[in-house]
């Protein structure tokens, strides 16, 4: 056969081509094999960031507490597998004397540390253990139970620290790294991805968590979640676990939210949140049709409170708010979060539909009333000798709203019960409302304490308690007379 025949040329073409194909297949397979065999090390990020991650060690007295940062979540959701306080393994209704362990991280060279509020709540002393095993006493700068964040301070200079990144830039599927002290094992690093954004677990009023699958366990609370630039994009705070251990579903506070809260805690010792002054409800299909709306986006205002930013801005009952500060509103929780994150004294654009007409108003927010001991709730601490073993609070409007206490319900709220104290032995529980003491109405914490301690009271006092949806009587043995 002549070498110049078309048939020979065709044969030579396929022979050469097949060699090239075989070569390329080898190269491609080699590349795939190498990619999976060596996907890229996180060692540099871990090595650098771990220096700024600390273990938080707390000591506390033996008190029960019934108003944790996420009371409704703890009591109603725990049975569904959620664990909001995975940094400490105490029961939410029984705080026995002992130690708690969590995580935190340095955000400044002079010793400012971020952690979860639930890690250090109720602590009598707080210590910080560094990656080099050095331990220092820490001072609480500020604590915000609503967001479950706290800021601590240790003495020092030129300390290793890490910076916040932009959590808004993170995407579902992006790789992340979590560092903390699970089960007390300091400097433990785990990796995973962002599984979801904007998770509302009904743990608090401002839920907006990132969901991650990087393994986190008891003791990771307050630890950083890092992006691949070594920047903090979230703070570990909760897990979902039917068994109590990691199953790959964790939740973290986005860094953009955390950073704003931390700055307020550093400056004011509490968080300044915006207040609008409305009651609202979600839209359903019937309401959408009745109001002649194009879709179900937005929230329906049911009441505008007097002398509030909403009234001053011209909002009315029946308005449908569709956007706040150019961010779309889909539910009442969306609007609550956006308003709370906004700065008091600043004017924001609010978009709404009124009588089928689109309108835009400017609203200048006021500062929201502060909640809890760190934010304004008056708590009686008449326990100097510890005989009664109880701590009481007035039922303020904020607490009434937060704990869903009926407007007509009077009495005094039990906020703490000392383990093995007189109140504990009587069967009192945090969250109980003392309505009467020996047939006398309980009006305020001091009056209630005095009635319980009154020397003319017999050995036992008869208490009428409101617990949940029912009234019960309790015999309180008085050892103070």
- More reliable by pLDDT, 87 or 116: 116
Closest CA to 151 of 270, 61, 233: 270
Question: Rounded to whole angstroms, what are the CA distances from 378 to 63, 372, 373, 396, 397?
Answer: 19, 8, 7, 8, 12
Same domain, 301 and 264: no
305 found inside a domain: yes
Strands (E) located in 241-346: 250-254, 274-275, 278-282, 299-304, 320-324, 327-328
**Angstrom distance (rounded) from CA 91 to CA 106:** 29
Active site annotation includes 148: yes
**Angstrom distance (rounded) from CA 424 to CA 430:** 10
Question: Rounded to whole angstroms, what are the CA distances from 454 to 253, 276, 361, 462?
Answer: 47, 45, 57, 13
Q: What is the pLDDT of residues 277-289, one digit of tens each?
A: 998 999 999 899 9
Which of 13-27, 291-305, 431-445, 454-468 comes out lowest in average pLDDT?
13-27
Residue that is last in its domain, among 367, 390, 416: 367
Residue 224: per-residue pLDDT? 96
Across all residues in the chain, what is the average pLDDT? 79
183 found inside a domain: yes
Same domain, 427 and 342: no
Task: Work out the pLDDT band at 27, boundaries 50, 70, 90.
Answer: very low
Task: Give me 454's structure tokens.
Answer: 């009154």
145 found inside a domain: yes
> Which range has the top average pLDDT, 90-99, 216-225, 319-328?
319-328
Task: Work out the pLDDT band at 441, boundaries 50, 70, 90.
Answer: very high
For the chain, how long is the longest CA-to-CA vector?
127
Same domain, 383 and 341: no
Q: Does the pLDDT at position 110 exceed 70?
A: yes
Residue that is last in its domain, among 228, 252, 271: 271
Active site annotation includes 20: no
Which residue is catalytic, options 49, 50, 118, 380? 118
Cβ-contact 50, 232 below 8 angstroms:
no
Residue 114: per-residue pLDDT? 97
Same domain, 59 and 184: yes
18 found inside a domain: no
Q: What is the pLDDT of residues 313-363, one digit of tens each?
A: 999 999 999 999 999 999 898 898 899 889 899 999 999 999 999 999 999
Same domain, 259 and 295: no
Active site annotation includes 319: no
Same domain, 111 and 169: yes
Residue that is last in its domain, among 327, 349, 367: 367
* Mean pLDDT, range 373-390, rounded to an integer: 46
* Mean pLDDT, range 389-417, rounded to an integer: 82
Residue 226: per-residue pLDDT? 96
Closest CA to 98 of 63, 129, 130: 63
Same domain, 290 and 341: yes
335 found inside a domain: yes
Which residue is catalytic, options 49, 146, 195, 221? 221
Same domain, 319 and 249: no
40 found inside a domain: no
As for how many domains the chain has, the answer is 3
Same domain, 68 and 173: yes
Q: Does the pLDDT at position 377 exceed 60?
A: no
Same domain, 251 and 184: yes
Q: What is the pLDDT of residues 161-179, one digit of tens each?
A: 999 999 999 999 999 999 9
Q: What is the pLDDT of residues 425-438, one digit of tens each?
A: 888 888 899 999 98
Which residue is catalytic, options 144, 148, 213, 257? 148
Same domain, 147 and 294: no
* CATH for 336: 2.30.42.10
Same domain, 339 and 457: no
Domain that holds residue 157: 52-271
Core vs surface per residue 159-191: b (16+ CB within 10 A) or e = bbbbebbebeebeeeeebbbbbbbeeebbbbbb
Closest CA to 261 of 376, 374, 413: 374
Q: Does the pLDDT at position 33 exceed 50?
A: no
30 found inside a domain: no
Which of 45-49, 349-353, 469-473 comes out lowest in average pLDDT?
469-473
227 found inside a domain: yes
Cβ-contact 431, 403 below 8 angstroms:
yes
């Amino acid at each position: 056969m002549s070498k110049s025949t078309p048939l020979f040329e065709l044969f030579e073409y396929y022979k050469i081509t097949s060699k090239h194909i075989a070569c390329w297949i080898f190269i491609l397979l080699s590349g795939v094999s190498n990619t999976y065999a060596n996907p890229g090390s996180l060692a540099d990020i871990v090595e650098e960031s771990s220096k700024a991650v600390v273990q938080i060690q707390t000591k506390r007295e033996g008190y029960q507490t019934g108003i944790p940062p996420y009371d409704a979540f703890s009591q109603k959701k725990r049975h569904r597998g959620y664990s909001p306080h995975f940094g400490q393994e105490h029961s939410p209704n029984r705080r026995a004397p002992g130690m708690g362990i969590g995580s935190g991280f340095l955000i400044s060279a002079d010793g400012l540390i971020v952690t979860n509020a639930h890690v250090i709540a109720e602590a009598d002393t707080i210590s910080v253990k560094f990656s080099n095993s050095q331990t220092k006493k820490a001072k609480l700068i500020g604590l915000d139970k609503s967001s479950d964040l706290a800021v601590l301070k240790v003495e020092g200079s030129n300390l290793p620290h890490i910076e916040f990144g932009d959590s808004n830039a993170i995407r579902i599927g992006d790789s992340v790294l979590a560092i903390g002290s699970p089960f007390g094992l300091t400097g433990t690093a785990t990796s995973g991805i962002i599984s979801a954004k904007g998770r509302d677990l009904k743990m608090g009023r401002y839920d907006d968590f990132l969901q991650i699958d990087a393994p986190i366990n008891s003791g990771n609370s307050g630890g950083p979640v890092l992006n691949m630039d070594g920047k903090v994009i979230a703070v570990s705070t909760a897990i979902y676990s039917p068994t109590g251990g990691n199953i790959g579903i964790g939740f973290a506070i986005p860094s953009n939210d955390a950073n704003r809260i931390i700055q307020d805690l550093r400056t004011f010792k509490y968080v300044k949140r915006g207040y609008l002054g409305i009651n609202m409800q979600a839209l359903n299909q019937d309401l959408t049709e009745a109001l002649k709306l194009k879709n179900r986006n937005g929230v329906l205002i049911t009441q505008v409170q007097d002398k509030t930013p909403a009234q001053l801005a011209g909002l009315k009952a029946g308005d449908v708010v569709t956007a706040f500060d150019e961010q779309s509103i889909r539910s009442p929780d969306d609007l609550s979060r956006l308003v709370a994150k906004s700065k008091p004294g600043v004017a924001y654009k609010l978009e709404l539909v009124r009588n089928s007409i689109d309108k835009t108003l400017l609203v200048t927010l006021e500062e929201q009333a502060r909640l809890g001991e760190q934010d304004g709730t008056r708590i009686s601490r008449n326990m100097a000798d510890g005989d009664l073993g109880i701590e009481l609070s007035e039922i303020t409007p904020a607490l009434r709203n937060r704990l869903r206490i009926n407007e007509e319900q009077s009495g005094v709220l039990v906020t703490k019960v000392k383990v093995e104290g007189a109140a504990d032995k009587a069967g009192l529980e945090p969250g109980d409302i003392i309505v009467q003491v020996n047939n006398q109405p309980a009006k305020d914490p001091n009056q209630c304490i005095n009635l319980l301690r009154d020397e003319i009271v017999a050995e036992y006092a008869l208490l009428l308690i409101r617990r949940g949806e029912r009234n019960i009587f309790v015999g309180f043995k008085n050892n103070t007379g």
